[in-house]
């Protein structure tokens, strides 16, 4: 099985993104994306030149895949997306808010990204009689950079718990927003094969 994970940056670099996706679609079984917008309603001026229908644009570029989208903030639909080849039998797809909870962005203008909840998608599927779990995650962003904070460590502990509770062979992927040498990443990678 081949998986590609990528933060799409909202499709700001749309043409190269779609070319990349089409190029690797034949040999890839699962794509996990972050910062994917499905509608114009999600676009605010501060986001710049993001692509308003990116989820559907990607779906059109991947006709042999089923797509699933999830968000941590209602009315702010930039979120996570998993696209999996239609030949796989999807048993379960879940949207799990990891930290702190759904709809926590506090600024009235919906610009306080430090307070936005963080979520993950968990998909369980079968291939050749074996169960797999893929967890697509977008970690919290903070102005201090990609260093450890108490909240990041708490977030990693919650993600690790969800990972441990998942069935079958497991893959955790996404944009963690943490440096590889942090405790936050150590919590996630302990006892597992870290491909970062």
Cα–Cα distance, 192 to 181 (Å, whole number) = 15
| Domain 3-189 -> CATH class | alpha beta
| pLDDT 10s digits, 49-96 | 778 789 999 999 999 999 999 876 565 556 899 999 999 999 999 999
| pLDDT 10s digits, 25-50 | 999 999 999 999 876 555 454 556 77
Instruction: Please give the angle made by the CA atoms of 70, 71 and 77, to the nearest 5 degrees.
Output: 110
pTM for the complete prediction?
Answer: 0.87
The neighbour count for residue 68, using CB atoms within 10 Å, is: 17
- Give me the mean pLDDT over the 154-179 stretch: 94
Average pLDDT, the chain: 86
Sequence spans of domains, the chain: 3-189
> Residue by residue, what is the 3-state secondary structure of the chain?
CCEEEEECHHHCCHHHHHHHHHHHHCCCCEEEEEEECCCHHHCCHHHCCCCCCHHHHHHHHCCCEEEEEECCCCCCCCEEEEEEECCCEEEEEEEEEEECCCCCCCCCCCCCHHHCCEEEEEEEEEECCEEEEEEEEECCCCCCCCCCCHHHHHHHHHHHHHHHHCCCEEEEEEECCCCCCCHHHHHHHCCCCCCC
């Amino acid at each position: 099985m081949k998986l590609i994970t990528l933060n799409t940056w909202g499709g700001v670099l749309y043409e190269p993104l779609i070319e990349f996706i089409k190029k690797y679609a034949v040999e890839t079984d699962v794509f996990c994306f972050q910062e994917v917008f499905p509608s114009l309603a999600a676009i605010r001026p501060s986001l710049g030149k993001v692509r308003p229908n990116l989820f559907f644009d990607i779906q059109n570029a991947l006709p042999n895949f089923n797509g699933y989208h999830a968000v941590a903030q209602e009315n702010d639909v930039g979120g996570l997306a998993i696209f999996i080849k239609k030949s796989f039998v999807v048993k379960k797809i879940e949207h799990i808010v990891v930290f702190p909870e759904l709809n926590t962005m506090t600024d009235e203008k919906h610009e306080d990204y430090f307070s936005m909840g963080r979520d993950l998608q968990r998909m369980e599927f079968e291939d050749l009689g074996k169960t797999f779990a893929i967890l697509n995650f977008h970690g919290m962003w903070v102005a201090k950079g990609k260093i450890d904070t108490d909240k990041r460590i708490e977030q990693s502990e919650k993600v690790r718990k969800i990972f441990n509770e998942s069935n079958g062979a497991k893959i955790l992927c996404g944009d963690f927003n943490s440096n590889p040498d942090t405790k936050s990443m150590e919590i996630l990678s302990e006892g597992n094969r870290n491909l970062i």
